[in-house]
């Protein structure tokens, strides 16, 4: 591994004492950061939403788990960023797939949303839980504590699937129109954005639910059709499929939306990774896909 020495001013210089050599691999670098091993950053980590179920009264997918806070980073370390994909909606008579994990380094990890129930099967637990389905009235999936909320239960009479859970609230049960749970708004990107809404539940011979704010997918209303997809990079759950009045067909659940990772710190740009913007005195790194977050002062080989 090469060693990099820091100088605190652009016009500073290094002086080699008589009789000493510079180490092999020495790199000279300017820095605008204080010469300290640690610095504070804010973060938002959202996992992929769960896929919607497929049946005559299927459950909506749960939103991806959401974590936010402040952490101390070592400026000489690289941090791996993983952005979770959304779970695939069930093709027919099955439960949707869970969303994938999003993470920031090795210690901050949000779980993917739980898949919505379908085909007489149970819903899945996750960051937020998937909604239950109405054929046999299955219960909703549970949430990861601190990351989201449970889904809504399915209803046998009338046959309605429960909504997927969201960060801001539980998914509504099948008896409450099967709406997805609401997401939660954060301004870490420089403007207020709502993330992690639950997917809507489907219904038999009735109007399906509405996706939760923050990217939750909606059903096709009274018309038979596939469940709507969760929104990309918001971690929304996919909607359960809907079988409208007079229809005998079966349709697929919607796919969950992918997640996102956002990191910000006070001051000018001092790191690489993601798309970098500057707002309100902060440098903001937005990752919509996998990457590496690294301060400019060190190169780790």
Residue 220: per-residue pLDDT: 67
pLDDT, residue 134, reads: 86
Q: What is the pLDDT of residue 247?
A: 58
Per-residue pLDDT band at 159 (split at 50, 70, 90): confident
Structural element, H or E, at residue 260: strand 260-266
Q: What percent of the chain has pLDDT over 90?
A: 68
Place of tokens 């591994």: 1
The residue behind tokens 């301004």 is 187
Beta bridge partners of 295: 271
Mean pLDDT along residues 77-95: 95
Q: Is the pLDDT reported for residue 35 higher than 80?
A: no
pLDDT at 214: 98
pLDDT band at 163; cut points 50, 70, 90: very high
274 is written with which tokens? 């993601």
pTM here? 0.86
| Exposed/middle/buried for residue 19 (C-beta within 10 Å: 0-12, 13-18, 19+) | exposed
Tokens of 163: 């909504």
What does the longest C-alpha to C-alpha distance in the chain come to?
92
- How would DSSP label each residue in 26-68? -EEEE-SS-S-SEEEEEEEEEPPPPPPPBSTBPPPPPPPPEEE
DSSP string over 158-192? TTBPPPPP-SSSPPPPGGGTTPPPP-EEE-TTSS-
The Cα–Cα gap between 164 and 173 comes to 9
Query: Domain residues of the chain, as ranges?
Result: 36-294
């Amino acid at each position: 591994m090469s060693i990099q020495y820091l100088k605190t001013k652009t016009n500073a210089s290094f002086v080699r004492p008589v009789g000493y050599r510079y180490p092999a691999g020495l790199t000279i670098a300017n820095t605008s950061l204080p010469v300290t091993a640690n610095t504070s950053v804010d973060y938002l980590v959202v996992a992929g939403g769960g896929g919607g179920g497929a049946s005559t009264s299927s459950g909506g997918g749960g939103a991806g788990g959401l974590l936010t806070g402040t952490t101390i980073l070592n400026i000489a370390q690289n941090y791996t960023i993983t952005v979770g994909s959304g779970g695939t909606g069930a093709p027919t008579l099955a439960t949707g797939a869970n969303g994938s994990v999003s993470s920031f380094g090795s210690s901050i990890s949000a779980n993917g949303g739980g898949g919505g129930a379908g085909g007489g099967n149970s819903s899945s637990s996750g960051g937020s839980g998937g909604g239950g389905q109405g054929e046999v009235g299955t219960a909703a999936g549970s949430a990861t504590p601190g990351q989201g909320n449970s889904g809504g239960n399915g209803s046998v009479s009338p046959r309605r699937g429960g909504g997927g859970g969201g960060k801001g609230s539980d998914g509504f049960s099948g008896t409450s129109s099967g709406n997805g749970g609401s997401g939660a708004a954060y301004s870490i990107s420089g403007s207020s954005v709502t993330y992690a809404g639950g997917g809507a539940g489907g219904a038999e011979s009735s109007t399906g639910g509405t996706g939760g704010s923050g990217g939750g997918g909606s059903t096709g209303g009274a018309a038979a059709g596939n469940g709507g997809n969760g929104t990309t990079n918001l971690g929304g759950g996919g909607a359960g499929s809907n079988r409208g009045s007079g229809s005998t067909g079966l349709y697929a659940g919607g796919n969950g939306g992918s997640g996102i990772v956002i990191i910000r710190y006070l001051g000018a740009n001092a790191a690489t990774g993601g798309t970098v913007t500057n707002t309100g005195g902060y440098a903001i790194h937005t990752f919509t896909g996998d990457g590496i977050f690294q301060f400019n002062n060190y190169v780790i080989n």
